[in-house]
Structure 1
Amino acid sequence: MPTPRTLAALLCLMPLSMTVQAQGADAPYAFSNGYPTAQTVQRVYDDVDLNRALQSYRFFYPNVSMMHLWNVNLALGQVPNKVFTLLQGTPKKQVFTANSDTPYAGLMMDLSNGPMVVELPAGPIMSVVNDLNQRWVADLGLPGPDKGQGGKYLFLPPGFDGQVPEGYFVATPTTRRLLLMLRALPKGGDEAAFALMKSVKVYPLDHSADWPAPQWIDQAGKSSDISPVAIESTLEYWRELHQLIDSEPALPEYQNYYGELAALGIVKGKPFAPDARMQRILIEAAQRGNQQMRVQSLADRRDDRLAWPDRRWEWAVLRPENGAFEIDGRVDLEAREKWFYQALIASPAMFRRAPGAGSLYWLGSRDDQGAFLDGSKTYRLKVPQPVPARLFWSVTVYDSQTRSQIQNSQNLAALRSMVELQGASNAGVSELYFGPSAPPGYEKQWIKTEPGKGWFSYFRIYGPEAVAFNGGWKPGDFEEVK
């Protein structure tokens, strides 16, 4: 009888003529003589390409979101550097977590022909610039280096090697095209805020005396959809990503991600022409990737998401250190994906958790029992007064499907301290209501929600004070009212 050692030796010498299968897979990979079967070859390449596409979808979502916004703004009549848009964040505007706390304006800028200057007047302006990679470029006005005193900002195109003059706040984006989101506090009413924004000047660094003043399109009361929802689960998502990759400089730190895209046929300088197989994979990745981001964003399970251990409120932004989601030599990709799935624009001033920050955002998607908020139910939110805001505060309600302000017969999605809630408090506590109908006596402190629709909210504080961060003040949770 052979010994166990002899049996082991004989087994090692046996030819690998049998088919070996991976265990536990729903459609296992199969190999014969060490080589993959034809079915395995097809399955592996499909799986690898789908994995590349899923990773790329989540990583480039903020870039595509910004590219789509650029394209929609062009269609709505904006002209880079010359014709800009005045807006108000009402439910008529479908855009991720926009607010109606202040009037604002969108300014498209293109540095393809050289540096551009943005000249701000003194006044209560809050502004931020992001490029088409949706990366922070600069804060202007109150949160910026001019501190609301006005000043000239110079934006240099990527790779600029010319002489930089003195007397400017200087910033360099990673793309030639930028979006400046301009906001003005309505201290004298919305019309005064619009007038202040229209006094902003935009011109080339080297410009002639006849360079025209900006024109302004008033779209404050008009309906429009500038969110990427219509394309985010379709092949068009990848087409617009290719458009961005093909038209802007490559970003060195994205090299590995560009490599993933190249394997999918998305390459700078080459047409986007996926065959039927690749189209199927890209569409599946867009659909699944979007669903994955929805879970990460609206059903976050990270321990650091909670603003307070005894509340359901979450930090809308998980990384407060900077506007780039960087921490300890890495990028917090989960935090980046959570934010950009539900919001547009990044800025250190928006993220900072310290007194003196421009603003502070908390996300509320669950009631005090941990259930997701339901449009068919009525909820009460108790807000202790005074709210620690040097400027103002608000609560805004968003549709969980569109991540835009809810649509209702009120045409109202926000309760604001400067408007609806002026003087509204009861023994030091304001009671706000959300549901299909208003409780008697609280009609001015109520937002109408729609049965059959989920919703979430942002609690915003502008000019937050120390107790907003140290636990000395906190709002209640949403409580269902039977």
Structure 2
Amino acid sequence: MLQRCKLTVLIGLILMSTQAFAQKEVSNDWIEDAHLKSRYGELDFKGGYPSAESAQRLREALFVNRAVEVYLAQMPTVSWYSVWKGTQQAGQAKPNQLVIWESLMDAQTLLLTGNTETVYGLAAVDLRNGPVVIEVPPKMLGGVSDIRQAEIIGIGPGGMDKGQGGKVLLLPPGYEGTVPQGYLVGHSPSYRAVFGVRGFQVDGSTAPAVALMKQTRIYPLSAAANPPAQAFFNGSGQRVDTLFPDNIAFFDELGRLVQDEPKAIFTDPDRFAMANVGLVSGQPFQPDAAQKKLLAEAAQLGGAYARVNGFDSRDPARLVYPDRKWEWTFIGGSATWDAQGYVNSDRRAAFAYSAIGMSPAMASKAVGVGSQYIWTMRDADGAYLDGGRDYHLRIPANVPVKDFWSVVVYDAQTRSLLRTGQKFPSISQYSGPVVNADGSVDIWFGPVAPAGKEKNWVQTVPGKGWFTIMRFYGPLGPFFDKTWRPEDIARR
């Protein structure tokens, strides 16, 4: 009898333990028999296993999710490739041409947040046939970046040439040939690179900067003994398109780079994510019809999220001033986006969707050197800037710059210069705005100029959103310590 009681107790303990284990399983929300409602539709499971329809739906959702992540992560690369192609194909598409915006950039150029006050020069460098020489004159500002927008060589006082100029020799990936003496050598991890320079106006004239840039020479090292004539193309007033797409063509462009650039330019996580959507190093990108449909969806979602990430950021470090709507373009103050001890891909993507040129000089916090950029797409009340409304911005006296300041307006759709009846949608130190008695400057935005304010007015377009970037060239101490700060843009 006693043994039977012990056995009964033991069985009871086992049953209790089994029930407790079963309850523990339930508490972990493991799926057994369920009909789940999700953002991907209704999902069916039986005995813990998905139905064929649910499995397919989830596979497609994972494919799209990974493709969106690829879109965001590879945006700087595809964008820079678009710049490379746009400048390569401009004009007569000569292989050694340098595109110079001799009369400044205007709304005809489709380039992410270009500046209307600075003379720009861009050249597509192709290293697939061997090393390339770039002769740069003294006092040139700029550099060479690989296809990932990472700087290979800086040019200027803080660059490899120390502002003295010289012959830059760009070597392709894995180059094992002889490197001649007398060159400033840069090793490019990619076969495609972009040479970019900029110059400032002198007494309102672009001529000195253009003349300096036209001393540049680009040619293959193999032709160093007898270089070809340098080709130039004036980009001012021309439709030079350097913008990347928000459709499946984005993945086609990336597929070209994955196919014929060294796989080492992408990280292991990059390659894993890309392989899962059919982008495999060294292989043609050939998605089937079903994959094309999903990639087209992912590109649209990627562009949509990029706009949320950039135009509706919740990053607490984005605000320049705690009481105003101005935001940093380089959130965290790093052009490599690793100020937190890791690469913040959201910050990088927010920049890359609306801007190009991730040069350390653009984020350097050096008094009187380089440049700083702040932007806003909202008015003082927090509403997005509307091209059909009228606004006012007051810039206090004594803007803290050694060189110059500018306020430039951009189309929120293209992120390029806003196309209006004005040649330049901007006000700057160079444009000669009317200055108030106290040294401040009032800027007016809207479809129609306020009477008597034409000199300080930037035209906007009803139905189009817009944003503005304020640039500080040679920023001084009051900018960095924030004892000087612009007002918010206010509706009037």
TM-score by length of 2: 0.89
In 2, Cα distance between equivalents of 1:132 and 1:10: 60
Instruction: Judge conservation of contact 1:143–1:357 (CA < 8 Å) in 2.
Output: no
Name which one, 1 or 2, has greater alpha-carbon Rg: 2
Structure 1, gaps ≥5 residues long: none
Shift of 1:465: 0.9
1:386 and 2:395 aligned: no
Residue correspondence of structure 1 range 62-211 to structure 2 within 5 A:
62-77=76-91, 79=93, 82-87=96-101, 88-123=104-139, 125-165=140-180, 167-187=182-202, 189-211=205-227
Q: Residue 246 of structure 1 is aligned with which of 259, 284, 291?
A: 259
In 1, Cα distance between equivalents of 2:38 and 2:82: 38
Shift of 1:166: 5.1
Inter-CA distance 13–340: structure 2 relative to 1 (3 Å threshold): closer
Instruction: Judge conservation of contact 2:388–2:462 (CA < 8 Å) in 1.
Output: yes
Which residue in the other structure is 2:55 paired with?
A: 41
Matched AA of 2:234: D
Deviation per CA, 1:35-67, whole angstroms, max 9, x where unpaired? 321112212211221121111111011111122
In 2, Cα distance between equivalents of 1:478 and 1:143: 35
Inter-CA distance 376–116: structure 2 relative to 1 (3 Å threshold): same
Does 211-220 or 164-173 show the bigger shift?
Answer: 164-173
% identical aligned pairs: 34
Partner of 2:473, secondary structure, is: strand
Does 249-258 or 368-377 show the bigger shift?
Answer: 249-258
Which residue in the other structure is 1:377 paired with?
A: 389
Matched AA of 1:465: L
In 2, Cα distance between equivalents of 1:55 and 1:22: 28
Which residue in the other structure is 1:50 paired with?
A: 64
Matched AA of 1:158: P
Matched AA of 1:37: S
Deviation per CA, 1:148-177, whole angstroms, max 9, x where unpaired? 332333322222344545544333232111
Shift of 1:473: 1.0
Which residue in the other structure is 1:342 paired with?
A: 354
Q: Residue 459 of structure 1 is aligned with which of 456, 464, 470?
A: 470
Instruction: Judge conservation of contact 1:80–1:108 (CA < 8 Å) in 2.
Output: no
Residue correspondence of structure 1 range 231-242 to structure 2 within 5 A:
231-232=245-246, 234-242=247-255
Which residue in the other structure is 2:331 paired with?
A: 318
Inter-CA distance 358–10: structure 2 relative to 1 (3 Å threshold): closer
The Cα RMSD (Å) is: 2.6
Partner of 1:224, secondary structure, is: coil
Instruction: Judge conservation of contact 2:190–2:265 (CA < 8 Å) in 1.
Output: no
Shift of 1:316: 0.9
Shift of 1:204: 3.5
Residue correspondence of structure 1 range 267-286 to structure 2 within 5 A:
267-286=280-299
Q: How many residues align?
A: 473
Instruction: Judge conservation of contact 1:81–1:107 (CA < 8 Å) in 2.
Output: no
Residue correspondence of structure 1 range 421-440 to structure 2 within 5 A:
421=433, 424-440=435-451
Instruction: Judge conservation of contact 1:143–1:358 (CA < 8 Å) in 2.
Output: no
Inter-CA distance 37–416: structure 2 relative to 1 (3 Å threshold): same
Residue correspondence of structure 1 range 218-233 to structure 2 within 5 A:
218-228=234-244, 231-232=245-246
Inter-CA distance 436–426: structure 2 relative to 1 (3 Å threshold): farther
Inter-CA distance 208–146: structure 2 relative to 1 (3 Å threshold): closer
Partner of 1:47, secondary structure, is: helix
Q: Residue 307 of structure 2 is aligned with which of 294, 305, 312?
A: 294
Structure 2, gaps ≥5 residues long: 1-7
Inter-CA distance 308–60: structure 2 relative to 1 (3 Å threshold): same
Partner of 1:331, secondary structure, is: coil
Deviation per CA, 1:117-137, whole angstroms, max 9, x where unpaired? 3222223x3213222122222
Inter-CA distance 41–440: structure 2 relative to 1 (3 Å threshold): same
Inter-CA distance 249–168: structure 2 relative to 1 (3 Å threshold): same
Instruction: Judge conservation of contact 1:354–1:466 (CA < 8 Å) in 2.
Output: no
Shift of 1:274: 1.3
Partner of 1:49, secondary structure, is: helix
Instruction: Judge conservation of contact 2:34–2:46 (CA < 8 Å) in 1.
Output: no
Inter-CA distance 83–224: structure 2 relative to 1 (3 Å threshold): closer
